[in-house]
Structure 1
Amino acid sequence: MKTAVRFPSSGMTLAGHLYTPGGPAAGPHPAIVVGRPFTGVKEQTSGLYAERPAARGFITLAFDAAYQGESEGLPRGPEHPFQRAEDVRNAVSYLTTRADVDPERIGVLGICASGGCVPYAAQTDHRMKAVTTVSAVNLPPFMAAFPEYGAMPAEAGRLRSEEAAGREPKLSSPLPESVDESTPAAMREFFAYYRTPRAQHPRSTGYYVQRSLDQLAQYDSCATLHLLAPRPPLMIAGTAAETLPFSRIGVERAGDNAELHTVEGATHVDLYDVDEYVTPAVARLTEFFGRHLARD
């Protein structure tokens, strides 16, 4: 069952969808917070990855990050990695207040960009007992290829001054307005997901406030992954994903108990919604959560 919920984060109210098991179960349930990709919303892949484990006895929460989707925050569209981590912590806090959730059995899942922010939040929040990612991305090296990234953070100060003078925030998008055979394959993948009926959503604009890149320049989700220990992180990625190296690096830095699980033939975006690849990924996730969120 899916229910619309609201919870606070840094003075803002965030919107989420809470998924609960269909049948009764004894005692409070284990729970999972699910983060979303860059500029994504809860109605897309994070909702899919929240819905499926709920059918296997978990309470799950997919939510819109602050400043995006149905959540509060002005201006609309900044991608603040530190606020994203805070949103994850506050989503966990919300779950701990629910009588149907066991606060000692909460796990987290980050997809794409939140595959960086979720483990980053978990490094110092030990309420997150099991940490997982799907198609994880560490945003600064990933976005280094964006034309505007090299000019940040120097350009950010000017943009902040413009906003202070009353101008609208400057928006940018990682996606082109159209694609053809000359467009890099990864961009065609993202375009096919976000800009076609396959998954486009009116609240997933695909745009972000450009000056927020200055915060990304200070952020590294992988630098202190060893702080997750002794909790066991699981990172899932497709063997055909250009972003697979991020998961490999994450597992290396997280320590001996970290696990890398690859889905044969899957690209980065295949793991968003292509059932052939999502099904084995969810099976591995639920097995992992079931083992590490089991009752003592």
Structure 2
Amino acid sequence: MNAITFPNGSITMAANLYRPDGFDANGSYPAIVVVHPGGGVNEQAAGLYAAKLAELGFVALAFDASYQGNSGGEPHHLEDPYTRVEDVSAAVDYLQTLSYVDAERIGALGICAGGGYAVNAAMTDYRIKALVTVSAVNIGTSFRRGWYGTDSDAAAVPTLQALAQQRTAETARGAEPAYLPYAPTETDEHTPRDLAEAGDHYLTPRAQHPNAKNTFLFTKSVSRIFTFDAFHMVEDLLTQPVLIVAGSEAGSLWMSTELHSRARSPKQLVVVEGGAHMDFYNVPKYVDRAVAEAAPFFTLHLAPQA
């Protein structure tokens, strides 16, 4: 693993680059961009997947999103879906500068919100030749409709009204910026299992990291998130083959099944019995299963062209 940086416009991105055992600088390798979940950094789930893919012969790049972790961009702790999508293309830009990466054999794997961002990036960046999502989340739709997707989009209105009041407080009255947590810091019997387990993941030694603060800016992030739809026009613009992996017990499963039902490109849905959303972040049984599905998929669809 090598710590590297690459540009996304004026922002300097921080990343870790994983290369296969027995790496030959004169070789030509397929490469995978690994996109971390909302609230994560590359040293957590994304780095875990990248390391495992490198063990199987891929060059893999896991990076911190713009405005997050060790990457640049101000204000920090901003979750901007549109920039997150551009991050993916900037990572492809970087991989294509490496002499040992075959520019025609680049794929993307996204976890949670990173899955939605990877899908959206692939719809406009056809340099991405194959796509895998793991516990995919369409972050805008999830924020509007709730974790289980049972609300209407109009359920977002009260939050947007609160956002308007907070923005006035910050810009006109000098109030301090407000922040929200990605994972709830307090839970009760009404908290969805996945979100309770997200707190266990990010806020305990299971996977906590000093660069993952479990916080994002309220006014500047929510206004961008609520109008974002990672799957908009997926029927027509997603042409690459896609593998969708999710757990049967995940409250987020509906987003994976929606993606599978709407995509018209070659597609495969793998529902892993017993798996919950967070199990695919760092529980070995489920991570290994996702990688066992992803690796042959990428090998097939990133094969050298005759």
TM-score bin, normalised by smaller chain: over 0.9
Residue ranges of structure 2 left out of the alignment (5+ in a row): 148-154
Deviations 1:158-215 (A, max 9, x none): 5445554565421111433233555432222111111110001111011111111111
**What's the % identity of the aligned pairs?**
43
1:34/1:108 contact within 8 Å kept: yes
Partner of 1:247: 256
Does the alignment pair 1:110 with 2:110?
yes
Q: Which residue of 1 aligns with 2:88?
A: 88
The letter for the 1-side match of 2:200 is A
Indicate conservation of the 8 Å contact 2:243/2:270, yes or no.
yes
Partner of 1:15: 14
Does the alignment pair 1:200 with 2:208?
Answer: yes
Secondary structure of residue in 1 paired with 2:197: helix
Measure the CA separation in 2 of the matches of 1:288 and 1:206. Answer: 32
Partner of 1:33: 33
Once the two structures are superposed, what CA deviation does each residue of 1:27-68 show, in whole Å capped at 9, x if it has no partner? 311000000111110111011011001011100000000110
**Contact 1:233 1:257 (8 Å CA) reproduced:** yes
Query: Which residue is 1:126 aligned to?
Result: 126
Rounded Cα–Cα distance in structure 1 between residues aligned with 2:70 and 2:209 = 12
Provide the residue aligned with 2:72 in structure 1.
72
Q: How far did 1:226 drift? A: 2.2
Q: Secondary structure at the match of 1:88?
A: helix
Contact 1:28 1:102 in 2 (8 A): yes
User: Which of 282, 290, 295 is equivalent to 2:299?
Assistant: 290
Over 3 Å counting, the alpha-carbon distance change for 1:7 and 1:48 in structure 2 is: same
TM-score when normalising by structure 1: 0.93
Q: Give the counterpart letter for 2:139 in structure 1.
A: L
Counterpart mapping for 1:129-168 below 5 A: 129-144=129-144, 145=146, 149-164=156-171, 167-168=175-176
Per the alignment, in what secondary structure is the counterpart of residue 280 of structure 1? helix
Alpha-carbon contact 2:275-2:286 (below 8 Å) kept: yes
Contact 1:152–1:217 under 8 Å retained in 2: no
Provide, for residues 119-140 of structure 1, a one-character-per-residue CA deviation record: whole Å limited to 9, x for no partner: 1011010000001100001112
Task: Give the aligned partner of residue 225 of structure 2.
Answer: 216
CA distance in 1: counterparts of 2:231 and 2:211, whole angstroms: 29
Is contact 2:30-2:58 (8 Å) kept?
yes
Q: Tell me if the contact between 2:141 and 2:228 (Cα under 8 Å) persists in the aligned partners.
A: no
Q: How many residues align?
A: 294
Moved more, 26-35 or 109-118: 26-35
With 253-262 and 277-286 compared, the bigger mean Cα shift is at 253-262
Partner of 1:56: 56
Q: 1:171 to 1:229 in 2, by over 3 A?
A: closer
Which consecutive unaligned segments of at least 5 residues does structure 1 have?
none
**What secondary structure, in the 3-state scheme, does the structure 1 residue paired with 2:124 have?**
coil
RMSD: 1.9
Are 2:239 and 2:265, in contact at CA under 8 Å, matched by a contact in 1?
Answer: no
Equivalent pair of 1:237/1:268 in contact (CA under 8 Å): yes
Question: Aligned to 1:266, what secondary structure does the other structure show?
Answer: coil
- Is contact 1:110–1:116 with CA below 8 Å preserved after alignment? yes
Which residue of 278, 290, 296 corresponds with 1:269? 278
